[in-house]
């Protein structure tokens, strides 16, 4: 059952896509044709939530890494996001991006590289050509999940 809520101020529609004891996924669809925004909330503890905003475009999910330190436990939330992207959304790639000017760029790059993300070379056809942004990609192997 889908739970929907319409917002008249920005002409968007919010839909609950998934909810379990830890992960809640909602989608905001704009009526003007822009790609849908998916909001992931992962319950880390009774009082703490890890939140990620993403954009779904074709078979790719784009994830902005917000400014500031990554919250403790955010790796758990991101792992849950990747599992949802693979199993439910059936996307081929999850791209994350952040500004190159970040002071913690090296540590963020190392953290996500450790999780399986790879740096995207400039000029990649699936990412926007923005010189101030650094993109990393996580490739999902959809053939293995189809066989299970």
The pLDDT profile of the chain, 148 residues, written as one tens digit per residue, is: 344 444 444 556 889 999 999 999 999 987 777 889 999 999 988 888 889 999 999 899 999 998 888 877 788 889 999 999 999 999 999 999 999 999 999 999 999 999 999 999 988 999 988 999 999 999 997 665 444 4
Burial class of residue 72 in the structure, from the number of CB atoms within 10 Å of its CB (0-12 exposed, 13-18 middle, 19+ buried): exposed
Residue whose structure tokens are 């939330």: 77
Q: How many of the other CB atoms lie within 10 Å of CB of 106?
A: 9
Q: In residues, how long is the chain?
A: 148
Which CATH number is 3-147's, of 3.40.630.60, 3.40.1030.10, 3.40.50.410, 3.40.50.1000?
A: 3.40.630.60
In which order are the strands placed within the sheet that holds 93-99?
A: 3-7, 12-19, 23-30, 37-43, 49-57, 60-64, 93-99, 133-139, 118-119
Query: For residue 62, what are the β-bridge partners?
Result: 55, 95
pLDDT of residue 146: 44
Residues 6+ apart with CB under 8 A from 90: 59, 142
pLDDT of residue 3: 44
- Cα-Cα-Cα-Cα dihedral sign, residues 89, 125, 119, 143: positive
In angstroms, the CA 73 to CA 26 distance is 21
pLDDT of residue 147: 44
CA 16 to chain centre: 16
Torsion, Cα 19 69 108 90, to 10 degrees, reads 10
pLDDT of residue 144: 53
pLDDT of residue 10: 52
pLDDT of residue 12: 66
């Amino acid at each position: 059952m889908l739970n929907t809520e319409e917002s008249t101020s920005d002409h968007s529609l919010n839909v609950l896509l998934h909810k379990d004891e830890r992960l809640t996924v909602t989608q905001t669809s704009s009526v003007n044709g822009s790609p849908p925004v998916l909001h992931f909330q992962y319950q880390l503890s009774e009082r703490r939530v890890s939140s990620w905003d993403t954009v779904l475009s074709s078979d790719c999910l784009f994830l902005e890494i917000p400014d500031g330190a990554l919250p403790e436990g955010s790796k758990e939330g991101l792992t849950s996001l990747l599992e949802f992207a693979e199993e439910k959304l059936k996307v081929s790639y999850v791209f994350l991006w952040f500004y190159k000017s970040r002071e913690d760029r090296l540590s963020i790059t190392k953290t996500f590289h450790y999780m399986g993300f790879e740096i995207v070379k400039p000029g990649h056809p699936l990412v926007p050509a923005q010189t101030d942004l650094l993109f990393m990609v996580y490739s999902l192997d959809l053939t293995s999940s189809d066989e299970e």
